[in-house]
Chain A
Amino acid sequence: GAVVSQHPSWVICKSGTSVKIECRSLDFQATTMFWYRQFPKQSLMLMATSNEGSKATYEQGVEKDKFLINHASLTLSTLTVTSAHPEDSSFYICSAKRDWGKETQYFGPGTRLLVL
């Protein structure tokens, strides 16, 4: 149990286009999901906290108009990178916290984005 999926796993897009990444908790409800970004040989950095039914909370330095987050249901959060540029190329990972039980976050497999 406690599986989190991400789609797509790998995307290449042209500069200026928008890319949507989905994060789903497959077998549990998650009121809260987190979006992280990882640059090569760097650690995961929190981008934003996604809450079902309310606006996301963004970390300092993360542009909310560029990285649109929608937590549409208790099992789905989406991250849309708008007008993507090469510097947005990164590994994006989401995690979901189960609404009950242990305080463990379950991580998705990640989405690798390459902007040409």
Chain B
Amino acid sequence: KQEVTQIPAALSVPEGENLVLNCSFTDSAIYNLQWFRQDPGKGLTSLLLIQSSQREQTSGRLNASLDKSSGRSTLYIAASQPGDSATYLCASSNQAGTALIFGKGTTLSVSS
């Protein structure tokens, strides 16, 4: 059964820093991997989706990479801002049309 792990559980950085969030998964036979943002008490906002055939996806200051062979994905946030403070969730899907398996998330705090 697929397990998704995120490290660290929490991260505090000063504004302007570049940072990397890590996600690992036990079963490399994934269909896709997705990164979400969740603000306290709120739902999920999809940030980036990487298909299994892709190596990375970029959106603005965000870059997500996928290495299936090592079972890892990273989310790189450039020039962090206080507005980036949130919990970031990584989730994988093992087949088309199936539910997502989530990690516990990394709670990011960016101080001004």
| A-side interface residues, number (CB < 8 Å) | 25
Kindly report which residue of chain B lies nearest to residue A94, judged by CB atoms.
B43
> Is A102 within 8 A of B49, CB to CB?
yes
Taking the complex as formed, is A105 at the interface, i.e. its CB lies under 8 A from any CB of chain B? yes
What are the residues of chain B within 8 A of A43 when measuring CB–CB? 4, 89, 102-105
Binding site for B on A (CB under 8 A): 6, 32, 34, 36, 41-46, 49, 91, 93, 95, 97, 102-110, 112
Kindly report which residue of chain A lies nearest to residue B103, judged by CB atoms.
A43
Taking the complex as formed, is B18 at the interface, i.e. its CB lies under 8 A from any CB of chain A? no
**Chain B interface residue number, banded:** 20 to 34
Taking the complex as formed, is B78 at the interface, i.e. its CB lies under 8 A from any CB of chain A? no
> Is B46 within 8 A of A107, CB to CB?
yes
Kindly report which residue of chain A lies nearest to residue B98, judged by CB atoms.
A49
What are the residues of chain B within 8 A of A105 when measuring CB–CB? 34, 46, 100
26 residue pairs A–B, Cβ–Cβ below 8 Å: A6-B43, A41-B104, A43-B89, A43-B102, A43-B103, A43-B104, A44-B89, A44-B91, A44-B100, A44-B102, A45-B102, A49-B98, A49-B99, A91-B41, A93-B43, A93-B44, A95-B99, A103-B32, A104-B46, A105-B34, A105-B46, A106-B46, A107-B36, A107-B43, A107-B44, A110-B42
